[in-house]
Amino acid sequence: MDRLRLAVLVSGRGTNLKAIIDAVEVGALQAQVVGVFSDRPDPYAFEHARERNIPTVFVDPKKYPSREEYDTALARQVMELKPGCIALAGFMRVLTPVFLNAFPGRVLNIHPSLLPSFPGLEAQRQALEYGVRYSGCTVHFVDPGVDTGPIIIQSVVPVYQDDTPETLADRILAKEHLTYPAALQLFAEGRLRLEGRRVIIDWENRAPQQPRDCVLEWLKNKDIIKEVTPNERSNSQHN
Ligand code: GRF
């Protein structure tokens, strides 16, 4: 089976990009990162790509008078790599339908809160100031809104009384690095299906030729997801 061709869009330091690349290397994510795109010149994320000889492309927003024109240019360049999936990893622009319609159902994002709480910028500070006891991260499909698309998986972390936005962000980030590759693997295995705005994860219907189908175990071991397979659910109901 062909590996999922993955394009990653970044703006900054790229720790999620690195986690994705690492997951590919250890076989937890059966994909190939075919290109990394940025709206900023030479972000630190490009270092991670260059280390693995992954092509990097800076698409300069200053060259395009409108968001739509920028997105047209970006989509054209991304399209050249024929990606099966586009992962936003700290990409700081809100994509318009011009871009999203070029890759329907194939653009994912990670956000550092339990959506729909605290969308947009400074999600960790928002969570802290609101006073929630738990926060986390969310991987979701991207729609034209700000962090409003259908939710794929979420991971939870506690919020402590002496947290600062930075300490909370670090705790969430550690979960992000496990959660994003796991969500992408579910996508790669073709297990995600939309019903309205609900994402249904098909745990049963696995492609038999999958070389290393370890994502479910991985998700459980890392305590990423509380979801259980239908069998386990009926067992637990009997207990
Ligand atoms: C992460 O917190 C991610 O959730 C958010 O932007 C940040 C990117 O961090 N969308 P990095 O560039 O991957 O280190």
pLDDT tens digits along 147-183: 999 999 999 999 999 999 999 999 999 999 999 999 9
CATH of domain 4-227: 3.40.50.170
d(CA 32, CA 105): 19
pTM of this structure: 0.89
One-letter identity of residue 143: D
Instruction: Give the mean model confidence (pLDDT) for residues 193-213.
Output: 73
What is the overall mean pLDDT for the chain? Answer: 90
The residue among 199, 197, 200, 196 whose CA lies nearest residue 148 is 197
Residue 231 confidence (pLDDT):
52
Q: Ligand 1 within 6 A of 14 CB?
A: yes
Known binding-site residue numbers? 14-16, 67, 109
**pLDDT per residue as tens digits for the range 98-151:** 999 999 999 999 999 999 999 999 999 999 999 999 999 999 999 999 999 999
Q: Ligand 1 within 6 A of 9 CB?
A: no
Centre of ligand 1 from the C-alpha of residue 73, in Å: 24
Centre of ligand 1 from the C-alpha of residue 90, in Å: 4
Known binding-site residue numbers for (6R)-10-formyltetrahydrofolate? 67, 109
Q: Who's near 114: CB < 8 A, 6+ residues apart?
A: 134, 135, 136, 137, 138, 154, 156
**Token pair in block for residue 135:** 């926060």
- The ligand 1 atom at the shortest distance from the C-alpha of residue 12 is 12
Residue 222 has pLDDT above 80, yes or no: no
Known catalytic residues?
A: 111
